[in-house]
């Protein structure tokens, strides 16, 4: 069974600085999708970025980028120029390409942004 | 474009009761997935509905059931509520096709079972 592990329960970053959130996953499959979701105190899960495993190029969305290391089964999220609005829980999620439905989430990392 | 909506926002029930939660999918989406998020944890997949039929199920007992309607909205029903059912219930919609089928989430329903 696939699993997703986020080993950092909480991270802290100074406003305008850069922070990296870690995520590792375990799968025997070669084709899958990876996601980072943000959950602010309002509770709504918001998609931050996604990565297709067959793509070697790391995904980037404005200040958010990933470091996808397929062999190491690692999928970290880098947030540049951190803003106060980035403070939230961040969840890493995996979906097999063979399954259209099931997202498997990690336990989350709480990101604190210091002004 | 209308996003995913859920109702109610909060709900308090007592053990043994039944509850129905509702979700309206984002326009253009044909699939709805339900997740349970206990306090301090990541969401756990309950089931998904596509074309009004269950398209996959997680490790939840049969007292968790659902429906999808022709307009792609969905209901989650939980019978014989237990204290451990207290959680945030998230609905996510997507368009089922080849590719990432990215799921977009609603704001959730906070269920408290006393």
Give the range among A69-78, B22-31, B49-58, B90-99 with minimum mean pLDDT: B90-99
Q: Which residue of A has its CA nearest to B49?
A: A101
Distances (CA, A) of B48 to A5, A22, A71, A89, A100: 23, 28, 30, 24, 9
Whether residue B101 contacts residue B95, with contact meaning beta carbons closer than 8 Å, is answered with yes
Which residue, among A41, A103, A106, would best test binding to B if mutated, counting the most B CBs under 10 Å from its CB?
A103
**Shortest Cα distance, chain A CAs vs residue B112, angstroms:** 16
Q: Which residues of A touch B102 (CB under 8 A)?
A: 35, 47, 50
**Shortest Cα distance, chain B CAs vs residue A33, angstroms:** 6
Task: Provide the pLDDT for residue B96.
Answer: 78
Whether residue A97 contacts residue A50, with contact meaning beta carbons closer than 8 Å, is answered with no
Residue with the larger pLDDT of the pair A106 and B95: A106
By Cβ distance, the residue of A50, A99, A107 closest to B102 is A50
A19-31 pLDDT, tens digit per residue, is 999 999 999 999 9
The reply to whether residue B104 touches residue A47, judged by beta carbons under 8 angstroms, is yes
Confidence of residue B1 (pLDDT cuts 50, 70, 90): low
Average pLDDT over residues A71-89: 97
The reply to whether residue A95 touches residue B31, judged by beta carbons under 8 angstroms, is no
Task: Provide the pLDDT for residue B47.
Answer: 95
């Amino acid at each position: 069974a696939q699993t997703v592990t986020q080993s950092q329960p909480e991270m802290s970053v100074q406003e305008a600085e850069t922070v990296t959130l870690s995520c590792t996953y375990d799968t025997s499959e070669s084709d899958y999708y990876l996601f980072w979701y943000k959950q602010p105190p309002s509770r709504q899960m918001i998609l931050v970025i996604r990565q297709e495993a067959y793509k070697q190029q790391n995904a980037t969305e404005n200040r958010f980028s990933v470091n996808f290391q397929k062999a190491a089964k690692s999928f970290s999220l880098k947030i540049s120029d951190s803003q106060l609005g980035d403070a939230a829980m961040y969840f890493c999620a995996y979906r097999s390409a063979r399954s259209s439905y099931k997202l498997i989430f990690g336990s989350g990392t709480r990101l604190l942004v210091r002004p | 474009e209308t996003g995913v909506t859920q109702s109610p926002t909060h709900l308090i029930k007592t053990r043994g009761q039944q509850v129905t939660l509702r979700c309206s999918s984002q326009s253009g989406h044909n699939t709805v997935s339900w997740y349970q998020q206990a306090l301090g944890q990541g969401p756990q997949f309950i089931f998904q509905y596509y074309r009004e039929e269950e398209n996959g199920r997680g490790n939840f007992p049969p007292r968790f059931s659902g429906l999808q309607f022709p307009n792609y909205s969905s209901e989650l029903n939980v019978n014989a509520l237990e204290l451990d059912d207290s959680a945030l219930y998230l609905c996510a919609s997507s368009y089922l096709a080849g590719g990432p089928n990215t799921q977009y989430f609603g704001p959730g329903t906070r269920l408290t079972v006393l």
